[in-house]
Every structure is written in structure tokens, then in C-alpha cells.
Amino acid sequence: MESIQWFLLGVLSTLCVFGFSYLSIKITAPWFAWVVLIGGAVAVMFGFAWAGSSFNEGVPASGAMGLMVFTGPGIIAMTLAWRYWVAPGLRAEKS
């Protein structure tokens, strides 16, 4: 079970790298938008790794805490960066 978790985290990180590289070609965003997006993606993956490892060790409370403390703020940061810095750049490129 743990091997599947690490495989899926590897696939997710590869997809994030390809997605961010494609997005960097598609739009021009400020440097701090990239810092927030990449930091949010790392926080989400760290929270998933923490939760999966905690569930495998038999400590589900720690896994839930990892999801809440790391993954939640990572998703919020990525959402806010997308809404305020990336999406306006996408709209400007289309028109």
C-alpha cells in the first residue's frame, strides 16, 4: 500500500512540474505568484505524504492533522494565487 502512495505522489509531482512549466509559457505572472503556487503544491503533496504515512502507521489523528495543517492552507494559497494573479493573465492573453 505504501508503494502505491509514493508512486502516486511521484506522478502528482511530475504533473505539477509539467503543468507549471506549461503555464509559465502560456502566461506572464509575477514572481510571487509562482512562489505561492509552487509552495502551495509542495504543501499539498507534503500533507498527502504525511497523512498516508500516518494512516499506514496506525495513527489516523496525526493523518487528519496533516491534511488540515498542510494540505488545507496549500489548497487555499493555490486558489487565491490562481484567482488574483494567474486568471487575470489568462484573460489578458485571450483578448
Q: For residue 88, what pLDDT is reported?
A: 86
Q: For residue 39, what pLDDT is reported?
A: 97
Q: For residue 95, what pLDDT is reported?
A: 59
pLDDT band per the 50, 70, 90 thresholds, residue 94: low
Report pLDDT digits (tens) over 40-91. Answer: 999 999 999 999 999 999 999 999 999 999 999 999 999 999 999 988 877 7
| Cα 74 to the center of its chain, rounded Å | 6
Q: For residue 91, what pLDDT is reported?
A: 76
Q: For residue 89, what pLDDT is reported?
A: 79
